[in-house]
Structure 1
Amino acid sequence: MINENIFRAYDIRGKADEDLNDEIIRKIGIVLSEKILKTGQNKVYLGTDCRLSANRIKKSLISGLCSNDLEVLDLGMVPTPLVYFATKIGKTNCGIMITGSHNPKEDNGLKMVINDGAVSGFEIKNDVINLKNKTTNIVNISDARDLIKQYENEIFSNCKLAKKIKVVLDPGNGAAGPYAKKVFEKIGAEVISLNTEPDGNFPNHHPDPSKEKNLKDLIESVSVNKADLGFAFDGDGDRVGMVDNNSNIVSPDHIIMLLSEYFLQKKKGPVIYDVKCSNQVSKIIEDNGGDPVIEKTGHFNIKNKIRETNAILGAEMSGHIFINYDWYGFDDGIYSAVILAKIISELEIDLSTKISDFPKVFSTPELTLDVEDSQKFEMVDKFKNEVDFSGYEILDIDGVRFSSSKAWGLLRASNTSPKLVMRFEGDTDQELLNIMAFFKDNFKKIYPNLNFEDHS
């Protein structure tokens, strides 16, 4: 029996042992091989992160992929950006990454690219469910790890530090650890690397840089070592978090502002950002001659919008950064961190002073509330339809974002986990409190058995 909830808007994701058993993964591989062959290609790049279920899933996936004489180009254990990189410069523009990203260690999943386009789990759901049994013993695998060195060299050729800086890295024992350390050493930074060795048990902390509790090691190390800045990565290395020289967390909004200023000085054009981002992001983009474009959350959506608009940059509040100027437009935490380090090395002031120059607003981080996975979208629709939003401007491309002239709030359903996602911002502390109170009062009326204060 297939749990249909594994097929998500961006990818495939679920409990590794329960939802992603060998037979289901093999069927997914067969369906993906058929889609690839229809493009006229017969090869696919394959990588895994360091989760404990990765090798078992990889074996079953290869069995399915090779059932139609598809050749698997094996990258080994790599961060997700390396699979994306391979599809841009390698023998095929098709790739699959076995990863659970920032989900709990028991989870796993697949991120898929076919014919240079991100593939949604929804796109293959029915084909997998309806697939008849098909047996195969064919295995056709080639080693593709030579592309790893090419990835590292290309980053190095794009980034030269203006001066030597001290950088702390914390990949949280995820797949990015060895690669990030090597790249930063190669560009000439003084590197202190924490929790570097990949370990699917994530023994030190969970690799999710969007949560403050996971940045404690990084914050402490930046302070103790008097570093210029620090970076944290998620489990598969496609997201990045940042800490400044005073050991303060740099909000993703400010990261996007830094990058927007930098790249808009080089080329004017659209900058894509997701519905969770600050109002100040669009103002910074406009002030620097760019065209701000708000989009649904999710790497799938941001990538498609970048291709549609030929944007120079895309970004999400979660830490996904998509650089499309002298790079390839995919989300890459390592490359984004290197570019941010380059920007800081070129400043005449330190990072904390630079951040303080941005407009000050009062905002929450991304807040999440655990709910039933099968009910989360209906819950958002119910809230959107039953609340009186008089006096607010509504944006409903992804959940509901309700804005006044001085504040905004957001409720949406996560596409990767069984959670509701919320964020709030005000021009003043009082405006922030006001819009949160509006939300909580209405949320309590509609869902009296759920406690907003239980958010994480």
Structure 2
Amino acid sequence: MTTPITCFKAYDIRGELNTQLNEDVAYRIGFAFAEELSAKTVVVGGDVRLTSLPLKLALSAGLIDGGASVTDIGVAGTEEIYFATKHLGVDGGIEVTASHNPINYNGMKLVKAGSVPISGDTGLNAIKERAEALDDAYVAERLDFYAKGAKFDADAFFNGKAFIATDILAETGQYQRHLNMDAYVSHILSYVDINNFTPLKIVTNAGNGAAGLALDAIEQRLLAKDVPVEFVKVHHNADGTFPNGIPNPLLPENRADTANAVIEHGADFGIAWDGDFDRCFLFDADGNFIEGYYIVGLLAKAFLDKGPSKIIYDPRVYWNTEDIITSSGGTPIKCKTGHAFIKERMRKEDAVYGGEMSAHHYFRDFAYCDSGMIPWLLVAELICTSQKSLADMVKERIEAFPSSGEINSTLKDADAALARVLAKYQPLAEVIDETDGIGLEFGNWRFNLRKSNTEPVIRLNVESKGDIALVEEKTQELLDLIRAE
């Protein structure tokens, strides 16, 4: 390839459409994936973005030409690919998704057999090199073959009209459609005892992404078993134009529709997902957004109540999580932020659960992968069995360990900002933790500062032991120093 492929990142593939990622690149990735893994069977799926279908079909063509048979599970969330890869016993899985990125982006998440993640040094860089090395004329010829002479059209691309026909792929004998939803729903529901459920009203906001399809399947199974759960659905229907904006509930400006619906309908709690629903975000009965940090502690205790185990957590904020784990008889294990690191450490430790404050929740029996459906089901069961509201379950913990939430600062020189902070605070620190970025502890408060790998951004988290005023004071003090350019 005459120009380098620039959409490969540290743990996945993400790029701007047509400039970094198109069907040519998708074909190359498929071919290279099959060759690098010597994969004979691969499962593929895609989110609801209009460009996910053409990219997925081009990817499938590359996989087939690389020697693999393809099972396409259709429109799916990332966790459905994780599940299908292990459940179907295939050699790898690829989800076409850009999650919460802008609409002019797309990407892919790749896993090996058993849903083991593929990152830069575990195969992703090698796939990139193979993809770039493919002969341009060969790629063009193969795409023309699958397209049956159709030409690439940018407008068609953005309107989701794939120029590669599924029937041509099927004629190879190496492409089949297989909807895996029933098996997926059975597994997801195995994490709770539906007999514990008492009447609940839950607001759900799929953000017009892929979550709505999975939720409907879960709802039908619950209805068939007379489980008394009522769903109030907001922005539910899948729509690749995202008429209500790209779903990213981590942004405060994207939370109002869920919060308002919870209040309006008198719901017990609310859920919002990102586009490929590998993260879920929870709201209490008053419409208040619950930081993912406190959900990690809540779920850790839910697992530890069933027996002692190891729990993995990220180092940005952790005092609450550690306190819950140790007091519940578990073993706390701190791990570098990021899904590849968390999953690897969970496998090594055989940990039952891992959680990040960013609302990624990982489960041993889910191939150590993250799910956006399992957490809310566990929380729903906890509400029913404890007869406490979500607010009541986290209120004590928020008061005991208040935190700032993650605050990002875009800077001209992130390294200089980091140096300013360390010069002032490191000599005073009682504990220095370099698990991820720099974490400094000062008795009854601490902070973590991480530099972005891809942009000039510093990410700050502050927490204390029972002193919200101290959190606010130290957060402002640190921000003033970080932003003093």
TM over 0.5, shorter chain: yes
From the superposition, tell whether residues 404 and 388 of structure 1 become closer, same or farther in structure 2 (CA, over 3 Å). closer
Question: Contact (CA 8 Å) 2:205, 2:273: kept in 1 or not?
Answer: yes
Comparing 4-13 and 122-131, the one that deviates more:
122-131
Q: CA deviation at 1:213?
A: 1.9
Relative to structure 2, which stretch is displaced further, 413-422 or 314-323?
A: 413-422
Counterpart residue number, 1:454: none
Q: Distance in 1 between matches of 2:280 and 2:420?
A: 32
d(CA) in 2 for partners of 1:433, 1:388: 17
Moved more, 277-286 or 219-228: 277-286
Q: Output the CA distance in 2 between the equivalents of 1:233 and 1:345.
A: 22
| CA separation of 1:127 and 1:221: change in aligned 2, threshold 3 A | closer
| CA distance in structure 2 between the partners assigned to 1:214 and 1:24 by the alignment | 32
2:184 corresponds to: 151
Question: Is 1:356 the equivalent of 2:383?
Answer: no
Would the alpha carbon gap of residues 27 and 346 (structure 1) be closer, same or farther in structure 2, given more than 3 Å must change?
A: same
Counterpart of 1:395 in structure 2: which amino acid?
D
**Conserved in 1, the CA contact under 8 Å of 2:421 and 2:482?**
no
- In 1, Cα distance between the equivalents of 2:417 and 2:48? 34
For 2:117, the aligned partner's letter is A
Q: What is the aligned partner in structure 1 of residue 37 from structure 2?
A: 36
Structure 2 unaligned segments of length 5 or more: list them: 147-168
Instruction: Specify the structure having the higher radius of gyration (Cα).
Output: 2
Equivalent in the alignment of 1:75: 73
User: C-alpha separation between the residues in 2 aligned to 1:205 and 1:7?
Assistant: 25
* Structure-2 change in CA distance of 1:414 and 1:166 (3 Å): farther
Within 5 Å, which residues of 2 pair with 1:136-285?
A: 136=142, 137=145, 139=169, 140=172, 141-159=174-192, 160=194, 161-187=196-222, 188=227, 189-285=229-325
Query: RMSD of the alignment, in Å?
Result: 2.5
Say yes or no: does 1:118 pair with 2:117. yes
Q: Does 1:391 align with 2:428?
A: yes
Query: Per the alignment, do residues 149 and 185 of structure 1 end up closer, same or farther by CA in structure 2, a change over 3 Å counting?
Result: closer
Matched-pair contact (CA < 8 Å) for 1:184–1:338: no
The residue that corresponds to 1:426 in the other structure is 464
Runs (5+) with no aligned partner, structure 1: 449-456
Give per-residue Cα distances to partners, 1:300-350, cap 9 Å, x unaligned: 1111111011001011111111122x5432111012222221221212222
Instruction: Note if contact 2:191-2:374 (Cα within 8 Å) is conserved in structure 1.
Output: no
Alignment partner of 1:319 is 2:359: yes
Looking at structure 2, the residues matched to 44 and 321 of structure 1 have their Cα atoms a distance apart, in angstroms, of 25
Letter in 1 for 2:260: E
- For 1:2 and 1:408, locate their aligned partners in 2 and report how far apart those are by CA, in whole Å: 46
Partner of 1:404: 442
Q: CA deviation at 1:379?
A: 6.8
Percentage identity across paired residues of the two chains: 28
| Pair 1:3–1:413, CA change in 2 (3 A) | farther
2:86 to 85, 88, 100: 88
1:281-317 Cα shifts (integer Å, max 9, x gaps): 1111111011111112211111111101100101111
Q: Given that residues 83 and 366 in structure 2 are in contact (C-alpha distance below 8 angstroms), is that contact kept between their aligned partners in structure 1?
A: no
Cα distance in 1, alignment partners of residues 381 and 474 from structure 2: 38
Alpha-carbon distance in 2 for matches of 1:26, 1:203: 30
> 3-state DSSP class of the match of 1:119?
coil
Deviation of residue 175 (structure 1)? 0.9
Question: Scaled by the length of structure 2, what TM-score is found?
Answer: 0.83
2:50 to 49, 52, 72: 52
- Residue 330 (structure 1) aligned to one of 344, 369, 394: 369
**1:45/1:292 CA distance change after superposition, 3 Å:** same
Deviation at 1:146, TM superposition (A): 3.2
Q: Is the 8 A contact 2:277 2:371 kept in 1?
A: yes
CA contact (8 A) 2:294 2:398 kept: no
> How far, CA to CA, are the matches of 1:436 and 1:191 in structure 2?
38
Equivalent residue pairs, number = 439
TM-score normalised over the length of structure 1: 0.88
The answer on whether the counterparts of 1:8 and 1:416 sit within 8 Å (CA) in structure 2 is no
Deviations 1:122-152 (A, max 9, x none): 5433552451414445745433433111111
